[in-house]
Amino acid sequence: MITEQKLSVAEVARRLGVTENRLHDGKKGVLKKGAEAFPGSGHLTPVEEELRQLRADVKRLEMERDILNKATAFFVTQMN
């Protein structure tokens, strides 16, 4: 916005409803980290992605455990 439309930082900050400092910080982040500067925008950091995967694994394993426990209980009652 600043470079494309030749607007001042103050004008862009006003239009976006943020402070100039916030805008400068965002610019620094983009220059330093690129797309990873804003991981909350649908981009997960490697650690966050690993955590997401581990939580999914835990959920799946808990479901498998519950199924096995129910099957065990069923077969115990069938054998008696």
pLDDT tens digits, one per residue of 19-34: 989 888 877 877 887 7
Residues 14 and 30 in one domain: yes
Residues 21 and 49 in one domain: no
Domain ranges, residue 52: 44-80
Residues 76 and 48 in one domain: yes
pTM to 2 decimal places: 0.49
In this prediction, residue 22 carries a pLDDT of 87
CB 36 within 8 A of CB 48: no
Share of the chain above pLDDT 70, in %: 86
What angle do the packed helices 20-33 and 9-16 form, to 10 degrees?
A: 100
Residues 48 and 35 in one domain: no
How many domains would you assign to the chain?
2
DSSP 38: -
The pLDDT tens digits of the residues spanning 59-71 come to 999 999 999 999 9
Residues 36 and 48 in one domain: no
